[in-house]
Amino acid sequence: SQTIHQWPATLVQPVGSPLSLECTVEGTSNPNLYWYRQAAGRGLQLLFYSVGIGQISSEVPQNLSASRPQDRQFILSSKKLLLSDSGFYLCAWSVIGSGTQYFGPGTRLLVL
């Protein structure tokens, strides 16, 4: 069966520090991968999605970037964190051709 992992679970970082969040999927090949941010009162915001290795689409201009170095690995990064980057970050995957997305457990990021 397929599983999706995210780490770390919780992260507290100072403003201006770099960020790297990792997401890996097991049990499937060539998935679509997604990064979302969930902020209180604002719902789920799609940040990036990827349909293959090295293929990244950005949905919202921001301080973040994403990379997909391997088929089942998706990384969210920042060179310098802002206070506004705080939130709950969720990774998801789907089978190509299917709209159903399956979510990871999430990473709570607090920027101080």
Partner 1 sequence: SQELEQSPQSLIVQEGKNLTINCTSSKTLYGLYWYKQKYGEGLIFLMMLQKGGEEKSHEKITAKLDEKKQQSSLHITASQPSHAGIYLCGAAPFSLGSNYKLTFGKGTLLTVNP
Contact residues for partner 1, defined by CB under 8 A: 32, 41-44, 46, 49, 51, 59, 88, 90, 92, 94, 96-106, 108
Shorter beta-carbon distance to partner 1: residue 85 or 93: 93
Shorter beta-carbon distance to partner 1: residue 11 or 46: 46
Q: Measured between alpha carbons, how far is residue 78 from residues 4, 41, 100, 101 in Å?
A: 22, 24, 28, 25
The distance of closest approach from Cβ of residue 108 to partner 1 in the complex, given in angstroms and rounded to an integer, is: 7
Q: What does the alpha-carbon distance between residue 17 and residue 23 come to, in Å, rounded to a whole number?
A: 20
The distance of closest approach from Cβ of residue 34 to partner 1 in the complex, given in angstroms and rounded to an integer, is: 8
Instruction: Please say whether the dihedral angle defined by the alpha carbons of residues 69, 100, 78 and 9, taken in this order, is positive or negative.
Output: negative
Q: Which residues contact 7 (CB under 8 A, 6 or more apart)?
A: 21, 22, 107
The distance of closest approach from Cβ of residue 99 to partner 1 in the complex, given in angstroms and rounded to an integer, is: 4
Task: Dig out the tokens for 38 from the structure.
Answer: 């969930």
Shorter beta-carbon distance to partner 1: residue 13 or 94: 94
The distance of closest approach from Cβ of residue 43 to partner 1 in the complex, given in angstroms and rounded to an integer, is: 4
